[in-house]
Chain A
Amino acid sequence: MSEAAATPTPQTEPVSAPLTPAREVWLHFRQNKGAMVGMYFIVCLVLTAILADVLAPHSPIVQFREALLVPPAWQEGGSWRFILGTDDIGRDILSRLIYGARLSMIIGFIVVFLSLGFGVVLGLTAAFARGTVEILIMRLMDIMLALPSLLLAIVIVAILGPGLFNAMIAVSIVSLPHFTRLARASAMSELTREYVSSARIAGAGTLRLMFRTVLPNCMAPLIVQATLGFSNAILDAAALGFLGLGAQPPTPEWGTMLAGSLQFVQRAWWVVTFPGLAILLTVLAFNLMGDGLRDALDPKLKR
Chain B
Amino acid sequence: MPALLEIRGLTVEFATSRGTLRAVDHVDMDVAEGEVLGVVGESGSGKSVSMLALMGLLGSNAKLTADRLAFAGTDLLTLTPRQRRKLVGKDVAMIFQEPTTSLNPCFTVGFQIVEALKEHMGGTRKWRRDRAVELLTLVGIPDPGARLNAFPHQLSGGMNQRVMIAMAIACQPRLLIADEPTTALDVTIQAQILELLTRLQRQHNMAMVLITHDMAVVSETAQRVQVMYAGQLVETRSADELFTRPRHPYTAALLSSLPEHAERRARLATIPGLVPGIGDRPVGCLFSPRCAYATDRCRGERPALYRDPEGLARCFYPLDDSGRPEGVAA
Contact = CB atoms under 8 A, between A and B. Distances in A.
Assess A/B contact in the complex (Cβ within 8 A): yes
Interface stretch (A9-17, A104-112, A218-226, A273-281): A9-17
A14 B17 contact: no
Interface residues of A, number: 9
Contacts of A11: 273-274
A302 B18 CA distance: 11
Interface string B144-168: 0000000000000000000000000
Contacts of A302: 17
B326 to A, nearest CB: 27
B274 A12 contact: yes
B309 interface: no
A16 B279 contact: yes
Interface string A1-29: 00000000101101110000000000110
A11 B270 CA distance: 12
A14 B17 CA distance: 16
A302 B16 CA distance: 9
B272 A15 contact: no
Contacts, number: 22
Contacts of B278: 15-16
Interface size class of B (residues with CB under 8 A): 10 to 19
Contact of B277 (A14, A27, A28): A14
B232 to A, nearest CB: 19
Nearest to A19: B18
A67 B28 CA distance: 83
Given A27-B17, A28-B17, A15 B274 contact: no
B311 interface: no
Contacts of B274: 11-12, 14
A113 to B, nearest CB: 33
Interface string A215-254: 0000000000000000000000000000000000000000
B287 to A, nearest CB: 13
Contacts of A14: 274, 277
Nearest to B279: A15
Given A12-B274, A14-B277, A16-B279, 19 more contacts: A9-B270, A9-B272, A9-B273, A11-B273, A11-B274, A12-B273, A12-B280, A12-B289, A14-B274, A15-B277, A15-B278, A15-B279, A15-B280, A16-B18, A16-B277, A16-B278, A27-B17, A28-B17, A302-B17
